[in-house]
Amino acid sequence: MAGRRSYRSVKTVERPSRKIVKGAVGSATRLTAVPRKKGGGAGPSTPRSVPNKASRRTGRVQKASVAGTNRVDLSAFPSEAVRKLDRSICLACVLDVFTRHMGLSLNTAHLEIKRYKPSLAELNSPAITRPYFTMQSPQDPCPYCGSPPKWHARLAIYRIEGGRTTDTLRRELVKALPTSGNQFLILEERGTRQEAFFEWLEKISKGLDLEAPQWLREVCRHYLSRKEPKEDWQAQFEQIQSIRRSRRLERGWEVGKGRLFLAPPLFDELLLVHYLVSRSQKAGGLTLEGRYTLRELMARLRSGGYLRAVGVIAQNPSDAFEELLQYLSGGEASMKLHYIVDRSDLLGKVGQLKAFKPPRPSVRGHLIS
């Protein structure tokens, strides 16, 4: 029920509220911080060969900052199943809260920051709040306390959709990550296919210029890459000048003379995806067949036989649309989302900052009192 409501609330491609969807499936989000030393979760139980002797400050800082330059390489993964996010955090703000408001000693505050493991709620929150901030330029001061960039750390977050095409790759990747100092935090969350679908839509929609028709082609490439990740769609699209509904194919697609022919069911799915991406821009959504309102789109998909073919029986356009979204996204079927959080920049910065006194609260009074 809540899931249905969330579909309706999705005006652009905002993902349905996690809380609502969680409620709908009746289970709390699983938030598992896998302590690497215990070898839980995806990690093997055998001891690691990585030496863990970097106990002195200098050694640790150096190792961490070296690790910080080695980004996690996701290039082997299907591009539509992974996402990278960055979060900037102001350590001066954190130290201020720990020392001034919570009364911790500076040493303890540093230790607490080192132990800090961001929760999924913090990492996924659309609203950025102190001590997190959106970095406009690496030179900018903290928007809350005015501290200079040396007090700012970045958390790199890699999110991988669980499934057949990613599970083996992900296990190998996690196994190969350095374990010293808990640089990498591994989290997982059970979600629904529907959530993952809307998050994917949100990701591909970012930065699209809906005034330039080129976006239709871009979304098409993303959708096909998601649906058939083994194909090199980037290379295919370098040859493709136009996208057509095939009169011959019953399923799948083919490329000929610079034209991509899609079987009717695939073409019709794309109409829906284009509609979802663009429907909030103007009345109706833009598709490869022009602009459709919801009613028009459903009528078109019904008359073309698509709705019947995928088992959508509702007559009312809104209900049919919801049934169709369930079908297209995978609905409430569960899936895992895996997160790799790279804390190495944070650890490196904490090490370096021990030598500095935390900045005094800004005279402009930006610090919370």
Which residues are at the interface with Zn ion (CB under 5 A)? 90, 92-93, 142, 144-145, 147
Q: Which is nearer to Zn ion, 25 or 104 (CB)?
A: 104
- Which distant-in-sequence residues (6+ apart) come within 8 Å of 62 by Cβ? 54
Q: Which is nearer to Zn ion, 89 or 260 (CB)?
A: 89
Q: β-strands 259-262, 242-245: how paired?
A: parallel
Min dist. Cβ of residue 155 to Zn ion (A): 15
Q: Which is nearer to Zn ion, 92 or 243 (CB)?
A: 92
- Which distant-in-sequence residues (6+ apart) come within 8 Å of 165 by Cβ? 77, 78, 81, 229, 230
Q: Which is nearer to Zn ion, 159 or 349 (CB)?
A: 349
Min dist. Cβ of residue 88 to Zn ion (A): 10
Q: Which is nearer to Zn ion, 82 or 94 (CB)?
A: 94
- Which distant-in-sequence residues (6+ apart) come within 8 Å of 367 by Cβ? 93, 96, 144, 145, 361
Min dist. Cβ of residue 90 to Zn ion (A): 3
Identify which of 267, 249, 196 has the alpha carbon closest to the alpha carbon of residue 226.
196
Min dist. Cβ of residue 134 to Zn ion (A): 13
Min dist. Cβ of residue 33 to Zn ion (A): 25
Q: Which is nearer to Zn ion, 142 or 337 (CB)?
A: 142
Identify which of 233, 212, 243, 188 has the alpha carbon closest to the alpha carbon of residue 80.
233
Alpha-carbon distance of 343 to 332, in angstroms, equals: 32
Q: CB–CB of 337/160 below 8 Å?
A: yes
Residues present in the chain in total: 369
Min dist. Cβ of residue 92 to Zn ion (A): 5
Q: Residue written as tokens 């000693």?
A: 105
